[in-house]
Amino acid sequence: MRMNIAAALMAGTILVTLTGCSPALESTTAAAQITAPAEKKSETTTEKTAATTASETTTQTEEITTVTEAAESMTLKVGERKVPVIWEDNASVEELKKLAANGLTIKMSKYGGFEQVGSIGRSITSNDKQTKTAPGDIVLYSGNQMVIFYGTNSWAYTRLGKIDLSKNELKALLGKNNVTVTVSMDRIT
């Protein structure tokens, strides 16, 4: 028996195709979505298929190994409230994820009546561009300050993400007092 396995990594998906096997297995395709590497788990399954010809019956046994990886996502809490965030896909966010892996707590202060600002403890990659912010925008300022807006402003920032709450919810959450923000990595189940 001859078995060719073609594996391709396309857009974050591993695609495995079995050919040269019984017709039932030739048409089988297994795909696994990968979000972020974390912990690998491997399992092996055995499939038996029967192929019948005019005068004989053959049994084929194939082993298929599936590798799955637990995914992680970065979360943000304002005080004790976990808020929904859409993170940017850039080098600054990747470095922020590394800091968040150990839990990152940022003491923020109200500034200008439209934002909260606080130090992330060290400088990370920045790619500042003149930006007009909107409520919910999370940006990096001076390479080492996280700023979360509940109003608007225009300045040179690196975009990190956006909190998906209404303007009124953001003002109630951020507009009254200084806040503590926690950024962490959570395992997706």
- What is the reported pLDDT for 44? 41
At residue 41, φ and ψ (nearest 5 deg) are -135, 130
pLDDT, residue 128, reads: 97
Domain limits of the chain? 4-69, 72-188
Tokens of residue 64, six digits: 């298929």
Contact yes or no for 154/120 (Cβ under 8 A): no
For position 109, what pLDDT does the model report?
97
Which pLDDT belongs to residue 58? 44
Q: What angle do CA 55, 59, 61 make, to 5 degrees?
A: 160
Pick the CATH number of 72-188 from 2.40.10.220, 3.30.70.890, 3.40.50.410, 2.40.100.20: 2.40.100.20
Count how many Cα atoms sit within 13 Å of the Cα of residue 63 in the half-sphere of its side chain: 4
Taking the C-alpha atoms of residue 106 and residue 120, their distance in angstroms, rounded to an integer, is 6
CA Rg, the chain, in Å? 25
168 contact partners, CB below 8 Å, separation of at least 6: none
What local confidence, expressed as pLDDT, does residue 187 receive? 82
Q: Name the 3-class secondary structure at 91.
A: helix
- For residues 60 and 51, the answer to whether their CB atoms sit within 8 Å is yes
Which are the contacts of 37, defined by CB distance < 8 A and separation ≥ 6? 69
The series of mean pLDDT values per 10 residues for the chain, 189 residues long, is 34 36 38 37 42 44 44 93 97 97 96 97 97 97 98 97 97 95 89
Strand duo 85-87 + 154-163: pairing: antiparallel
In degrees and rounded to multiples of 5, residue 147 shows phi and psi of: -125, 130
Q: What is the pLDDT of residue 70?
A: 54
Q: What is the DSSP letter of 20?
A: S
Q: Where are the alpha helices (DSSP H) in the chain?
A: 23-26, 91-100, 167-174
Predicted local distance difference test score (pLDDT) of residue 68: 43
